[in-house]
Amino acid sequence: MKRPLLACLLCAIAALSSPKELSAQEPPAWARHCIYCHSLEEAQAGPAFREIAARYRGIRDPALAAKQLKKSILEGSSGRWGVARMPANVQISEAEAELIAQWLLSLSTP
């Protein structure tokens, strides 16, 4: 019971901390501290980035997949990946959320 609460707290702190600028050298998801709750390969407080990519790539319309991902990034979500809740990312602009969604959809899956 304490672990999901701690995960939510860490994600909220990460979302409110001062973000660094996005750069072409690093994946956009890293730039907004998403790494505190997600990793590329393994589930942590949230699902692995490759798991997210696989699930959303299953949506036939890529534009709809990107739109749904962007909404989850900006508004947060709950119940989609178990008990952990993803808080809204108030420090991320819509354009940055779009970049993160496109990056996620570009990942190869296992």
Domain ranges of the chain: 2-18+28-106
Write out pLDDT tens, residues 1-35. 455 544 544 454 444 443 444 333 456 766 667 88
pTM exceeds 0.85: no
CA dihedral 43, 47, 48, 52 (to 10 degrees): 160
Give pLDDT, residue 27: 67
CA angle 71, 77, 83 (to 5 degrees): 160
Write out pLDDT tens, residues 77-87. 998 888 888 99
Residues 21 and 44: their CA atoms lie apart, in Å, by 25
* Cα dist from 82 to 25, 86, 108, whole Å: 32, 11, 23
The contacts of residue 104 (CB under 8 Å, 6+ apart) are: 29, 49, 52, 53, 56, 69
Q: Which CATH code of 3.60.20.30, 1.10.3720.10, 3.30.360.10, 1.10.760.10 fits the domain covering 2-18+28-106?
A: 1.10.760.10
DSSP per-residue string spanning 7-64: HHHHHHHHHHSPPPPP-TTS-HHHHTTGGGT--SSS-SSS--HHHHHHHHHTSS-HHH
Q: Do 90 and 18 form a contact (C-beta atoms < 8 A)?
A: no
